[in-house]
Amino acid sequence: MLRLSNLSKYFGGVRAVDALELNVKTGEIFGLIGPNGSGKSTTVNLVCGIFGPTSGSIELDGVDLKRQAPHQRIDAGVSRTFQNIRLFDDLTVWQNLWVAWRDAPGQEHSWFSNWFGRSLSRRHEIQKLLEFSGLGDKSNNLAGNLAFGEQRRLELARAMASKPKLILLDEPAAGMSSAEVTDLRQRILTMKEMGITVLLIEHVMELVMNVSDRIGVLNFGTLIAEGLPEEIQHNPLVQKAYFGSSENTSGGDTNAIDQ
Amino acid sequence: MLYFLGIFQTIGVHTLLGLSAYVLLLTGQLSLGQVGFFAIGAYVSGILTVLFSWHIFAALAVGALVAGFFAFLIGFPALRVKGLMLVVATIAFSEIVRLFFFNLSWRVEVNGFDVGPDSTQGFREIRYFAANGWEQTHVVALIWSFVILVMFLLWWLDRVRAGAVLRAVGEDDLAAQSSGVNLTMVKVAAMTAGGVIAGIGGGLFAHSTTYVDHHTFTILLATFAVSYPILGGHKNVFGTLLAVIFIQGFVIEGLRFMGDYRNIVFGLLIIFAMNLRPQGLVDGHFISDIKKKLGGKPKKDSADA
């Protein structure tokens, strides 16, 4: 599904992502973990087109994404959430989804009605997605007035509104209570059942170990390990990267880039 | 009576100018270039009726299209700059336009008289309305037909998806882009629409006052243009209209006895409004946004962590 080959992104002398090889298979939940500043968010931003890569290629189902503008990658089937929630606060909950909405194949609106239609038919579908996200009764609230957990769910719903094949979740559990994490886990599994491939970037091990089919570990912009959750848990290289040793103090400088 | 018709005329033209800035504010672009498009509309349509004896409607349409075309061109480089830098860039554009017309001399003999823009002397005798038997009430009706039409279109825009997309871009363009919005298209379209609206306003202005020169199109008018939607709030189009009525009707006309000191009142008013009613006269969080853009820390500008 998603194939990153020899992907690099340098910021000046800092190699945020360095000759990264990553292969996410169709229909799986791939967890991407790594210490702060290891290049996880930079990888997401490269796939989404926020940054252009220094070198290497990004392919989605064999299609080269590199030359596509960020909005075109949505049409190609990639969508994302942000580490710090970025909703359209002054729009209502359902308008947030309306902006991102893509019609299912075969049911596309004409150009004119896509932009200038009231699209009541869509409102019905949007409402269904909101109910799925547990926001059914909030559709006319302003997104900025929602509680934190609701905002996270709305951002997830917005990422699904474009009917993606692949969703990149950038630390979706950050700041969540453990009950909310359980709920999120269920939602991610439901996405998988719907046939959506998930690339999950996460620090909350409780989530990433329980939900991922495979896990990759990034450090200094390269993949240092890849495998099943239980393999990763017992991998000495991973433990070294996380807990550090004298010559391996990650984070710090590169963290700023990662932000 | 004539006096009040004159005020109606001014309020109508300034509302169009304010609405042209309003469209851009929706997408988060603060432009002081609207006066440039206004000037293009004024000169182009004036030249067409005076030098080429066109009908007023054709001249207004072409003036608006030419202004819109330049706005379209400006839209692309403007994409690369944000906030304060966009303000500076659009001021520069307005000044280029103003200086172009300051130097433009295009005199033609029509019916035994020399007419046309005369560089420093300004562009006099734009007398289409008087020459064709329009009364001032007709002129006011024409101006307000355009005001109502544009306000209706913008009001309607907020009820369709395009309006939500414009506002989404204004709130967080990176998130909008990551939701599949083509930022280039949306921002350039908003710039073009703003140019067309300002161009119509400029054409109506030139013909209703019969005289324009470069002094008309200074930074002061550009400031008025953006202050209307800022003061009125960007939540809906009526805020802009109320702000124009308040500033032109009350501050400028009501305080006429103060002479040019009125402009100080205008400046103070903006400062007070920003502090006391940061959401605008009508509604909205927008002023705080502008304040952030003009001074405070940048809002979510970098790529997300």
> Is the Cβ pair B174, A86 closer than 8 Å?
yes
B165 touches chain A (CB under 8 A): yes
Model pLDDT, residue A146:
95
Mean pLDDT of chain B: 88
Model pLDDT, residue A36:
87
- Percentage, residues of chain B above pLDDT 70: 90
pLDDT tier at B285, thresholds 50, 70, 90: low
- For the ranges A227-231, B18-22, B264-268, B291-295, the one whose mean pLDDT is highest: B18-22
Model pLDDT, residue A256:
38
Residue B304 scores a pLDDT above 50: no
Residue B298 scores a pLDDT above 90: no
The b/e string for A23-57 (b: 16+ C-beta within 10 A; e otherwise) is ebeeeebbbbbbbebbbbbbbbbbbbbbbebeebe
> Is the Cβ pair A51, B303 closer than 8 Å?
yes
> Is the Cβ pair A86, B182 closer than 8 Å?
no
Mean pLDDT throughout B185-204? 97
> Is the Cβ pair A41, B181 closer than 8 Å?
no
The alpha carbon of residue A66 and the mean position of all alpha carbons in its chain are separated, in whole angstroms, by: 18
Q: B258 vs B243, B249, B254, B255, B264, CA distance in Å?
A: 20, 14, 9, 6, 10
CA distance A34 to A219: 6
pTM over 0.95: no
CA distance A39 to A19: 11
Interface of B with A in 176-235 (CB under 8 A): 176-184
B120 touches chain A (CB under 8 A): no
Find, among A126, A134, A167, the residue nearest to A150 by Cα.
A134
Model pLDDT, residue B282:
59
> Is the Cβ pair A71, B180 closer than 8 Å?
yes
* Structure confidence by residue, pLDDT tens digits, A184-213: 999 999 999 999 999 999 988 889 999 999
Residue B102 scores a pLDDT above 60: yes
Model pLDDT, residue B164:
95
Model pLDDT, residue A258:
40
Mean pLDDT throughout B61-82? 94
Q: What is the mean pLDDT of each run of 10 residues along chain A (259 residues)?
A: 94 92 95 91 94 94 91 94 94 95 88 85 90 94 94 96 95 91 95 96 91 94 92 86 57 40
> Is the Cβ pair A75, B181 closer than 8 Å?
no
Paired tokens of B159: 């009820």
Residues A1 and A25 sit within 8 Å (Cβ to Cβ): yes
Domains of chain A in sequence order = 1-77+166-259 (3.40.50.300), 89-163 (no CATH)
Residues of B in contact with A114 (CB under 8 A): 161
Using a CB–CB cut-off of 8 Å, the residues of A that contact B are 41, 45, 48, 50-51, 69-71, 74-75, 79-80, 82-84, 86-91, 95-96, 98-102, 114-119, 158, 161-162, 170, 258-259
B292 touches chain A (CB under 8 A): no
3-class secondary structure, A12: coil
Residue B300 scores a pLDDT above 80: no
CA distance A247 to B198: 63
CA distance B46 to B212: 9
> Is the Cβ pair A79, B180 closer than 8 Å?
yes
Residue B299 scores a pLDDT above 50: no
Mean pLDDT throughout B99-121? 89
Mean pLDDT throughout B193-197? 98
The alpha carbon of residue B150 and the mean position of all alpha carbons in its chain are separated, in whole angstroms, by: 12
Model pLDDT, residue A145:
94
Mean pLDDT throughout B203-224? 93
Find, among A57, A55, A61, A138, the residue nearest to A94 by Cα.
A138
Residue of higher predicted confidence among B300 and A163:
A163
Residue B98 scores a pLDDT above 50: yes
Residues of A in contact with B171 (CB under 8 A): 88-91
- Determine the residue of chain A that is closest to B302 in CA distance: A259
